[in-house]
Amino acid sequence: MNNLLPPIASEDGLFHDGTEVGLGTIVTAQWLNDVQACLRSIQSEVHTLLTTHGVAVDPTRVNQLAGLVAPLASPAFVGNPTAPTAAQFDNDTSLATTAFVQRAVGNYAGNLGLSASQTLTAAHAGRTVNVSGTITLTLPASTSVSGGATYQINNAGVGVITVQAGAGDGLYAVGNGTPRQLTLGSGDSLTVAYVGGTSWYAWGVGQLSFTAMFASGVAAMAEYQRLPGGLIVQYGAASTLAANEIRTITLPTAYATAMRTVVLTGDGAPSSVRVAALGLTTFQIQNLGVAGQNVYWAAFGR
């Protein structure tokens, strides 16, 4: 049925009383039947609306719709309304409760203490994980978490903590494209987040050795270590340097500005040694002793 009533059969579409010179508006049986059908339809709609919202229909009351319409007229919630908390990692258009938001983005709400090797779970996301002992922590399977799932891992003991990705996933230090295990010594910390696909990224002290500021390397009988201020410490050994022999040492990594100093120690008796010709990539050492000896050196520069 069309819920709109047919127009009234008058020039202006309104009812008119009869006069001495003319008849009033004629009300047909069809029009009255349409009015009756329309009222029944409205009554049915109102009944359905009330019962759907759990309101018992009371024909003696005239304000039962008011309680349903009032919230629609308000631009905001009043008081402290509550709602179910959506499932973890839900990303549809549902309204989020404060519990869902805190669990999703953290504030590191909650603390987890561990002392045995195990695989972390999705339920641990957003927590601070304090670890003691020498153990291995395996990250959850990437299929069980959503992008942004974060774990704050702290070594609160004296052991060594190994953090690794699960089978098929990769754990990466920031700026380093090689998946690896990361180790935390006493007092070290690591923030690990799932970034999508099969990839986990790590931030914090536990991955500093893979950054440019703390880069290190090994060459033949020598090593180097960069420090954040730009200083590079390099050290190594020259074996069996003959009496009065001069030998050129090639550094594991070149200095950009200058080699500031080299410290030498010989193991002969006497162990007199000297250094010369400091450059960006090499320097020379000489055994001033009367017999062959090993010479140990440490170079400092930028």
- Name the percent of the chain lying above pLDDT 70: 92
On the question of pLDDT at 131 being above 90, the answer is yes
Check whether residue 200 and residue 111 sit in a common domain. Answer: yes
Kindly state whether residues 236 and 287 are assigned to the same domain. Answer: yes
Residue 2: the pLDDT is 52
Give dist(CA 23, CA 52) in Å, integer.
47
**Is 73 in the same domain as 122?**
no
- E strands, 76-160, are 111-114, 118-119, 128-131, 135-138, 150-155
| Residue 33, H or E segment | helix 29-52
Same domain? 173 vs 146: yes
Q: Could you tell me the strand order of the sheet in which 128-131 lies?
A: 111-114, 128-131, 150-155, 189-196, 199-203, 170-173
In a domain, 49, yes or no: yes
The domain spanning residue 182 has which CATH number? 2.60.120
Residues 296 and 230 in one domain: yes
Please check whether residues 192 and 128 belong to one and the same domain: yes
Nearest 10 degrees: CA dihedral of 205, 208, 210, 211? 140
- 95 within domain boundaries: no
- Domain containing residue 226: 215-301
In order of 205, 252, 253, 258, the CA distances from 219 in angstroms are 25, 5, 9, 20
Q: Are residues 205 and 250 in the same domain?
A: no
Task: Please indicate, yes or no, if residue 242 is contained in any of the structural domains.
Answer: yes
Last residue of a domain, one of 210, 244, 273: 210
pLDDT digits (tens, 9 = 90+) for 161-189: 999 999 999 999 877 788 999 999 999 99
- Give the C-alpha distances (Å, rounded to integers) separating 262 from 215, 270, 295, 300: 20, 20, 12, 6
Stated as kind and residue range, the H or E segment containing 202 is strand 199-203
Of 210, 237, 254, the domain-final residue: 210
Q: What are phi and psi of 240, to 5 degrees?
A: 50, 60
User: Considering the domain boundaries, does residue 76 fall inside one?
Assistant: yes
Instruction: State whether residue 299 is helix, strand or coil.
Output: strand
What pLDDT shows up at residue 276? 95
Q: What is the CATH number of the domain that holds 269?
A: 2.60.40.3940
The domain total for the chain is 3
Model confidence over 27-52: pLDDT tens digits? Answer: 888 888 888 888 888 888 888 888 88
Which residue type occupies 301?
Answer: G
**Is the pLDDT confidence value at 215 over 50?**
yes
* 3-state SS, residue 259: strand
Together in a domain, 108 and 69: no
Do 25 and 118 belong to one domain? no
Is residue 130 in some structural domain? yes
Domain closes at, from 177, 210, 243? 210
Per-residue burial over 245-258, b = 16 or more CB atoms within 10 Å of its CB, e = otherwise: beeebebbbebeee
Residues 124 and 194 in one domain: yes
Residue 41 lies in a domain: yes
pLDDT at 105: 61
* Domain assignment present for 31: yes
Average pLDDT over residues 237-249: 95
N-to-C CA span, the chain: 89
Residue 9 lies in a domain: no
Instruction: Indicate if 44 and 132 belong to the same structural domain.
Output: no
Based on the domain organization, do 270 and 173 belong to the same domain? no
Rounded to the nearest integer, the mean pLDDT of the chain is 87
